[in-house]
Each structure stands twice: as structure tokens, then as C-alpha cells.
Structure 1
Amino acid sequence: MTQLSKRIRVLIVDDCVCIRTTLRAMLNGDEYVVVGELSSGEKLLSTIEMLDPDIICLDHLLPNKDGMHLLGEIRTAYPNLPVVMITGSDDTTLQHVAAMLGIDGFIYKPFSQKKIFDVLQEITHAKKQLMILTRKYNSFPEDDTFHTTAVVADDSRTVRRLLITILTQMGIEVVGEAYDGMQATELVAEHKPDIACLDFDLPMMNGIEALKIIRSKNDTTKIVMTTTLASRKLLKLAVSAGAAGFIIKPFYPETLKQNISRILKS
């Protein structure tokens, strides 16, 4: 296997040459390699077919076809290909619509190399773990399965798919899948699951706000917070709001299974 094939292949789609140049300089290295760049989305699908990238960095505002339109096309043609949206906007409506269409994450301008790596690492790690799990079904022993229900909330489609796969292998029925905090509160209210996995950083309503609303109406569902921000202050805030536990991203399936098992048995 060549060094190129070991690295994560990135396709950049942005009409600003400065952004493309900056991203290429930040990404090209031991872990990532930029295999292609586009200034518009006109030839995006044919370029994906030709270059076979592992992940796409897609600008929100592009000539002719905007990022949302292109995201929909990608999801139709390549449903499992992770896409990260590049944007300078913090509009929650944009985040909501992108999450609804199946976005995997956001890179907000101005960005740093660390922020880019954090976003891409979470997604590519989840994709890798998902591929491993789907290649070899690794279910729990019968004595360790849980005949319970769950709701999963995360704005990354790939992370949601990984969570759902792991929980299903544990014998847990996932009755709801949310991509924003408001939707998460509605699904928990509707299904009253035994457990809910709730991301801290959700559009429309963040995880802490969603947790407080859920707790005001439901004191039985065990809430597990997932986060890349393992700050003591944030974790303390979640505990005081009623969280039963935490999962630090990126996570491995066995770690998640052990934590969920412990929380369900407690």
C-alpha cells in the first residue's frame, strides 16, 4: 500500500482560491491529502466518481449551484460519503437545513488548522469504525443485550449512523434520530425512550438546553451527552442539568458499549 493510499483523501469545493490554497496547505501531510479542487459544483459528481475522495469540504456559497443544492445531489448519488460545509455564517437556519440534508460537520471561517483537524478527525474516525462494524457484525452476548429503546441526536450524519449501529448491536431499538436539539426534545417526548444520546453542539437548540427541557418533562429517560469538548465546567453543567453520563468523541465502539451498559444497569 502506498503512502498516498494510506492518507485520507479530501476534495475541496470553494470558489475562493485563497480558501482552497489555505485548506490545501493545512491539510496536505501525513494524515490527509487533497486529491482535487473545484471552484464550482458543475462537475462535482463526475469529479467524485473519478477521484474517489474519502471526504468533501464544500463551500456554502458557490456560483450556479449553492452548497445546499450540491449536498442534496451528493446524498442522492453517494449517500455514505461524508461532507463538511465551509461557511462564514452562524445562521442556525442554515445549520438546521444542512443537518436535515445530511451534512457531517461545519468548518467556520475564519478557521484554524486545529479546528479543521478536529472536525475531520471526528467524522473520518466515525466512518472508519462504522466500516469495521458493518464488515463484521459484532453483537453482544445474549446475556448482555438490552431490550430497551433509544433516541440519538447528533448533527453529523456519520456519527449518528455509528451510534445507531452500535446501539442496535446491543439489542437497543433506536426509535428516533435527531439532527438538532429541538427535534431531539420532540422525539424524546413522543417515544419516552430508556436512554438518549445527546450531542452538546446541536443546531437550533444546543444539547444543554435540550437536556433541561427534557428533564422538565421527563425524569426517567437516561441522558448520555456526547462531546468533543471535555471541559470540567461543561461536564459539571450537564450533570447539574440531569445528565447520566458522557461519551467523549471520537469514541470507539467498545468504549461506547461499556459506558451505555453501565448507565443502563445503574
Structure 2
Amino acid sequence: MKILIVEDNASMRSLLSTLFKSQGHTVVGELDNGNSVLDDIHRLRPQVVCLDYHLPGKNGLALLKEISTDYPDIDVVFMTGSEDGEIEKLAADAGAAGFLRKPFGQKQIIDELQQISALRQQAMATESTAGNAAATAAVTAKQVPAASCGRKASRTAVLVDDNSSIRLLLKGILVDYGLDVVGQAANGEEAIHAAEAHQPSVLFLDVNMPILSGLEALPRIRAASPHTAVVMVTGNATRELVQQAAGLGACGYVVKPVRPAYVQNFLNKLFKR
């Protein structure tokens, strides 16, 4: 994979560059501040950005949000030495594909890259199989009641997330599982329409989205598609959020960064496999 390193510590940049090259990856650039990151991404076209949190010029979290919006096909591994537990949740909700807390070992970063590489290959295979029809699925979605969290007669799904790379990742996981992804949406309002139109057996619903959040849209989704099982997707699965979502009819939740094994285990329980 082609990797861009954004890290203000020269020793860390050198260590990461040497490690990545030893694993067969190509380091397309090394930056020591956040000022020109987006311009360099446009110029260098990396597949993965290793992004530090504390940077001169612009902090990594702000950059992560911009990368996720402008370059949704790029995977970001977010790195920080901060002990603040909220940062991991914020990074996940902003679209980070991986998270590393310093100091980390070589095996941790290698494992993160292997996971990302495997998911990219899975997503490419899914897109190849689905063809152009999959690209037109950016329609909308609808919602479900808590009583519908059991076995479903159909095997259809709708994906709702404002980050297209997360939708692509989830789609690959669900298609491999045997579900037919019949619709996608990027905000809560679109989600309601998509759920009503498709009446899916399961709908994955992001919590933090523009126009209508997942929690705001959830009751209307339930009303529009009462037999749909709604699964919340979030980087911040606090007890309060989980209880609120359950009270509104969600069947469960998936924590970002999304991991295929967890989603598959959840689906096994949902479909009584």
C-alpha cells in the first residue's frame, strides 16, 4: 500500500518509514506538520495516512474529519500519546480506520495495516462483483421497532453513515455474509425514506450524522418499517447512548472502527445462526 506519514517527531517518522518499507509498503511522503496535508494527499495519492493527533499548524482530529470528507477512500490510522479516552471515540466517529496509542509496538502497527489491507481487498472484491449497480445505491433508508429483533424472512440491508468508506466497508462485510444491500444513505432524513422504500430486514444506522442524527431518525424509522432490525453504529458507545437507543427500538450496536468478526457475530445472533 502507498502510505503517507504525518508525524512531528522525526525519530517516529523514521521508525515508521523503515518499518513500512520492510513490510513491502511504499512510503509516498513524510510530513512534520498539519499545514499542507490535504494538498499533499491530492499530490501524492496515498491509500493510507498515518496521522498524529498533536501537530503544528492543525491538529490531527480536524485533519481526520477533512480527509474523511474530501478523500473517503483513504484509510487513516490515528496516532496519539494522549491518555484522554475520549480521543479514540472522537477519532472513530470521524472515520478513523485504526487507532494507536503511543507508545505502541511494531506488531500493533503491522496488525493495523494488515487489517486495513484485508478490508480494502474485500471491499474491492465486493465492488467488482456488485458492478455499477452498487454505486447507485446511495438512496435513503428507513427505521424499525425493538420487537423486530429476531429472525428475518428476507436477507436485505440498508446502510446509513455519512462516511462513504464506512458504508463501503460494511457493505463488503454484509455481502460476504449473504445479505443483499438494497440501499444506502448519508443522513437521518435519507435513512427514513430508504427504510420506507426498501423495508429491509436490517438497517445499520450511524449515530452522528448531518440533518438528522441516528437517534433523532430512529423513532421515525421504526414507524416507517416496523419489521426492520436497526443496529446503531458509533464510536462512542456510552451506557447512556446504548440505553437511549434500546429504548427507541434499536436491536444493538456496532462500535467503530468496524471489525468484520464483530459484525458477523452480531448477524449470527440476529439471524439465529
- Band the TM-score falls in, shorter-chain normalisation: 0.5 to 0.7
In structure 2, the residue matched to 1:75 is 68
Q: Spell out the pairing of 1:22-37 with structure 2 (5 A cutoff).
A: 22-37=15-30
Distance 2:232 2:124 in 1: 21
Distance 1:247 1:261 in 2: 12
Is the alpha carbon distance of 1:65 and 1:170 closer, same or farther for their aligned partners in structure 2, counting shifts above 3 Å?
closer
Q: How far apart are residue 112 of structure 1 and its match?
A: 0.6
Q: Are the aligned partners of 1:11 and 1:55 in contact in 2 as well (CA < 8 Å)?
A: yes
Greater length-normalized contact order (CA 8 Å, ≥ 6 residues apart): 2
Q: How far apart are residue 73 of structure 1 and its match?
A: 2.8
Q: Is the partner of 1:248 in helix, strand or coil?
A: helix
Q: Are the aligned partners of 1:35 and 1:51 in contact in 2 as well (CA < 8 Å)?
A: yes
Is the alpha carbon distance of 1:135 and 1:68 closer, same or farther for their aligned partners in structure 2, counting shifts above 3 Å?
same
Greater shift, 88-97 or 63-72, is seen at 88-97
Distance 1:47 1:57 in 2: 13
Equivalent residue for 2:261, pick from 231, 237, 248: 248
Q: Are the aligned partners of 2:155 and 2:180 in contact in 1 as well (CA < 8 Å)?
A: no
In structure 2, the residue matched to 1:135 is 128
Distance 1:203 1:91 in 2: 15
Distance 2:153 2:130 in 1: 14
Q: Are the aligned partners of 1:14 and 1:40 in contact in 2 as well (CA < 8 Å)?
A: yes
Q: Which amino acid aligns with 1:13?
A: V
Is the alpha carbon distance of 1:227 and 1:43 closer, same or farther for their aligned partners in structure 2, counting shifts above 3 Å?
closer
Q: Which amino acid aligns with 1:76?
A: T
Q: How far apart are residue 78 of structure 1 and its match?
A: 1.3
Is the alpha carbon distance of 1:162 and 1:39 closer, same or farther for their aligned partners in structure 2, counting shifts above 3 Å?
same
Q: How far apart are residue 210 of structure 1 and its match?
A: 8.4
Equivalent residue for 1:177, pick from 177, 200, 206: 206
Distance 2:46 2:77 in 1: 13
| Deviations, residues 94-127 of structure 1 (Å, cap 9, x unaligned) | 2333233222221110011111122222223222
Q: How far apart are residue 212 of structure 1 and its match?
A: 7.8
Equivalent residue for 2:99, pick from 82, 106, 113: 106
Q: Is the partner of 2:22 in helix, strand or coil?
A: coil
Q: Which amino acid aligns with 1:119?
A: E
Is the alpha carbon distance of 1:44 and 1:145 closer, same or farther for their aligned partners in structure 2, counting shifts above 3 Å?
farther
Q: Which amino acid aligns with 1:169?
A: D
Give the percent of matched residue pairs that are identical in Structure 1 and Structure 2: 28
| Deviations, residues 197-254 of structure 1 (Å, cap 9, x unaligned) | 87xxx75437xx6898489859x976587899xxxxxxxxxxxxxxxxx9637x9xxx
Is the alpha carbon distance of 1:69 and 1:216 closer, same or farther for their aligned partners in structure 2, counting shifts above 3 Å?
closer
| TM-score normalized with structure 1 length | 0.63
Q: Which amino acid aligns with 2:231?
A: A
What are the ranges of 5 or more consecutive residues in structure 2 without an aligned counterpart? 134-151, 183-199, 223-227
In structure 2, the residue matched to 1:5 is none
What are the ranges of 5 or more consecutive residues in structure 1 without an aligned counterpart? 1-7, 229-245
Q: Are the aligned partners of 1:40 and 1:63 in contact in 2 as well (CA < 8 Å)?
A: yes
Q: Which amino acid aligns with 1:196?
A: V
Q: How many residues matched?
A: 222
Q: Spell out the pairing of 1:1-266 with structure 2 (5 A cutoff).
A: 8-137=1-130, 146=154, 158=165, 161-165=168-172, 166=174, 169=180, 172=200, 173-178=202-207, 193-194=228-229, 196=231, 203-205=235-237, 213=243, 248=261, 256=264, 260=267, 263-266=270-273
Q: Which amino acid aligns with 2:75?
A: P
Distance 1:264 1:39 in 2: 48
Q: Which amino acid aligns with 2:229?
A: D
Q: How far apart are residue 10 of structure 1 and its match?
A: 1.1
In structure 1, the residue matched to 2:141 is none
| TM-score normalized with structure 2 length | 0.61
